[in-house]
């Protein structure tokens, strides 16, 4: 289920729309394999009589429960979206009851990712976004290629600053842009290495109308 265009602001575009990594299904899938292995053992070498019948019922019941678990996990997966647009980072989840987080790019202070060796092989990991909002930090798990997502967020932040700086101070004032906030954002990009010293100086001059 892709992010609907009706949820976008005027002029806003989607840069990335992700569901969780397939590792999201690992727990129920492993449980299913274990129960199938046990079921095969019961059918081929299990005890006969009443005890055997009870074991078969237990295995069948376990299979039904795990199948329901997989269906529930799939519904959660298909209704969970991590979206990066030209203006915001958006996270939404929920089959019936919905919840979500929206972080304007100008509020993002830092983006970190974490991957174990195994997760690097799979192409999955966690993403931690620090923002200037009330929540402060937001962690997202089972993100596909979190290093690429981190770079894309930084790229969208840089493009947003460049768009606003290119308008000049008069347009920035009309749009309600806080020049001090934009300068702070530029400094953050310089510190992270998203901007060179020359690019920082150029964008700063544009922002200040120099």
Q: Are 189 and 153 in contact (CB under 8 A)?
A: no
Q: For the structural domain made of 5-20+82-208, what CATH number should be given?
A: 2.30.29
pLDDT digits 0-9 by tens, 95-109 = 888 888 999 998 888
pLDDT digits 0-9 by tens, 169-202 = 444 444 444 666 677 777 777 776 666 777 777 7
Domain range summary for the chain, segments of one domain joined by +: 5-20+82-208, 24-78
| C-alpha span between 101 and 21 (Å, rounded) | 19
Model confidence, pTM:
0.70
Q: pLDDT: is 175 or 44 the higher one?
A: 44
| C-alpha span between 1 and 96 (Å, rounded) | 14
Mean pLDDT of 55-59: 86
Closest C-alpha among 124, 118, 122 to residue 141: 124
Phi, psi values for residue 193, rounded to 5°: 90, 5
- What lies within 8 Å, CB to CB, of 41 at 6+ separation is none
């Amino acid at each position: 289920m892709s992010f609907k265009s009706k949820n976008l602001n005027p002029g806003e575009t989607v840069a990335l729309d992700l569901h969780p990594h397939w590792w999201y299904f690992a727990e129920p899938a492993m449980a299913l394999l274990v129960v199938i292995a046990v079921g095969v053992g019961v059918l081929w070498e299990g005890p006969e009589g009443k005890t055997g019948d009870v074991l078969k019922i237990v295995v069948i019941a376990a299979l039904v429960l795990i199948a329901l678990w997989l269906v529930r996990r799939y519904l959660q997966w298909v209704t969970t979206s991590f979206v990066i647009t030209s203006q915001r980072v958006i996270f939404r989840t929920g089959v019936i009851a919905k919840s979500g987080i929206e972080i304007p790019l100008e509020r993002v202070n830092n983006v970190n990712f974490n991957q174990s060796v195994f997760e690097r092989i799979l192409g999955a990991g966690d993403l931690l976004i620090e923002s200037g909002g009330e929540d402060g930090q937001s962690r997202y798990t089972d993100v596909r290629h979190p290093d690429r997502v981190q770079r894309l967020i930084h790229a969208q932040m840089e493009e947003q600053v460049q768009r606003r700086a290119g308008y000049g101070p008069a347009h920035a004032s009309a749009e309600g842009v806080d020049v001090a906030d934009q300068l702070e954002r530029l400094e953050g990009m310089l510190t992270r290495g998203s901007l060179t010293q020359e690019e920082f100086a150029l964008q700063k001059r544009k922002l200040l109308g120099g």
